[in-house]
Amino acid sequence: MRHRLRVAATALLCVLVSGLISVASLANAATPAATVPPATVPDTIEQRVAACIACHGREGATTNAGYFPRLAGKPAGYLFNQLVSFRDGRRFNSDMTYMVQHLSDAYLREMAEYFAGLQLPYPPISALSDATPEQLQRGRKLVLEGDAARGVPACVQCHGAALTGVQPAIPGLLGLPRLYVSSQLGAWLTNERHALAPDCMADIGRRMTTADINAVAGWLAVQPMPADTRPVASLPAPLPVRCGGMPK
């Protein structure tokens, strides 16, 4: 009799223990595992334009050895006009178009003003050039004097005597990669780049030859930066041609 009672008690204990284990398993299954909260990304303009530095360099201050242009310190109006042109199809670059095609004017203006407000030092400019002395001389003449016979104004008449640009929307021409300058001048020549009407650079670019473009780009690429690299507030005389990006 006692043996039977012990067997029964043992069986009951096993059932109870098994039940407790099952309940604990269900409870654990119902309780979600602790999750690590996602890392928070600061919602700042610096963070939102971080993608730009992949091509344009730290804070948009690329060196003059590559292809991509510097953004830091450019006039905000110029940067805004270019972003809008990429978005609206006047300029084409698959990466740029992809990034800005859904952005509003207000967002593009905020990006432009951010980069325009950065005053960062320029890297040293190399005086070495693969251009011939004749090319450099031709480039200097076109930049400083133009070619009146063909209706090509001097670069300094629009981009400022120091070639650092003019507010609010004319870019500087120094401290840029030679390949970038030549490719963009070439895009005006071949009608692949456009700006707001009246498209003054398209008119000027079509009056230049490939030799002119190479000469201008080669001379600009080896010029040292002036002490003050900021765009000037205004020009001493009216623009020689009307440009859609500049106020009347």
The top-level CATH class assigned to 45-221 is: mainly alpha
By CB atoms closer than 10 A (0-12, 13-18, 19+), residue 181 is buried
Answer yes or no: are the C-beta atoms of 218 and 141 closer than 8 Å.
Answer: no
> Hey, where are the domains in the chain?
45-221
- Predicted local distance difference test score (pLDDT) of residue 57: 84
Which residues on neighbouring strands pair with residue 145, listed in sequence order? none
Q: What one-letter code names the amino acid at 165?
A: G
- Predicted local distance difference test score (pLDDT) of residue 152: 97
Q: Who contacts 138 (Cβ-Cβ below 8 Å, separation ≥6)?
A: 211, 212, 215, 219
- Predicted local distance difference test score (pLDDT) of residue 245: 87
- Predicted local distance difference test score (pLDDT) of residue 7: 41
What is the pTM for the complete model shown? 0.81
pLDDT tens per residue, the chain (248 residues)? 444 434 444 443 343 334 434 444 444 555 555 687 777 878 899 999 998 988 888 766 765 557 889 999 999 999 999 999 999 999 999 999 999 999 999 999 999 999 999 999 988 888 878 889 999 999 999 999 999 999 999 999 999 999 999 999 999 999 998 999 999 999 999 989 999 999 999 999 999 999 999 999 999 999 999 999 999 999 999 999 999 989 87
User: How many Cβ atoms from other residues are within 10 Å of residue 161's Cβ?
Assistant: 14
Say how far apart CA 180 and CA 44 lie, in whole Å: 30
By CB atoms closer than 10 A (0-12, 13-18, 19+), residue 99 is middle
Q: How far is CA 207 from CA 27, 71, 247, in A?
A: 81, 28, 24
Buried-exposed string 69-93: b where 16+ CB fall within 10 A, e elsewhere: bbbbbbbbbbbbbbbbbbbeebbee
> Tokens at residue 246, please?
């500049």
